[in-house]
Amino acid sequence: MKTCARSILIVGFSLALLSGAAFSDTDSMNCNVKSPSSHVQLAPEDTNTASRLQLSRPVAAEAEIELNLCGGDLSLVSSRSNTLKITVEVGEASGQRLAGDYLEILQIDPHKARVGLHLAQTSKARVTIEIPSNSRDLDVNLARGNLTLAADQIGGERTINVGYGHVEMQGNEDSYEGLQVNIGLGSLHDHRKNGENHHFIVAHSASGTGRGAIEINVGMGHVDLDASGSKPI
């Protein structure tokens, strides 16, 4: 009964991920909206062209970080400083807009940094976000796409929600104290030594030797756990 009930809960949460109900109520999580209703005012030193957006902002020590993206290929690595750095590379740039037009939300205060990127699927965007080394709480919502988490670089409490797509977690057991992976429909492939693979409805937990917890929730797709360490990005 417990296994059946847990499976029902995972499927229900997965449907919420796929529908967008579990995400923030903004255009950045609504893939049906062609462009966000508002844009962030960028600084003069920011890079903003049709194919590239790059900006850096200082973030207070131990501030919570929330990232919301409609789509794209997202890589999360450490900035090794107190700055949040965002790089967006648009694969198919539109002559009618700049890459900065996709940045809907950029709110930073002493307690929280919040980012919203509404990236059209046709843009084939690649996003790299460098997380401050002193971050204590990272919450990432990706409606559709591929996500790479350098867990061996980024500490704290880490929650990854993907509606439809692929998640690759780079790092071994020393990257976390506890790991929880929930997949509504798909598979988990653990490429680490003595790792196990799971399919269909997945609810997998593991204990580690590091600090902080990692929770990965995928509505439909697959998760790879790779102990080879972070790859160059």
pLDDT of residue 2: 47
Measured in residues, the chain has a length of 233
**Which pTM was predicted?**
0.85
Q: How do the domains of the chain map onto residue ranges?
A: 2-226
Element (H, E) at 190: strand 178-190
Q: What angle do CA 11, 194, 191 make, to 5 degrees?
A: 65
- Amino acid letter for position 117: L
pLDDT of residue 46: 96
**List of the chain residues with pLDDT < 50:** 1-4, 8, 22, 231-233
- Per DSSP, 175 falls in state G
Rg from Cα positions in the chain: 17
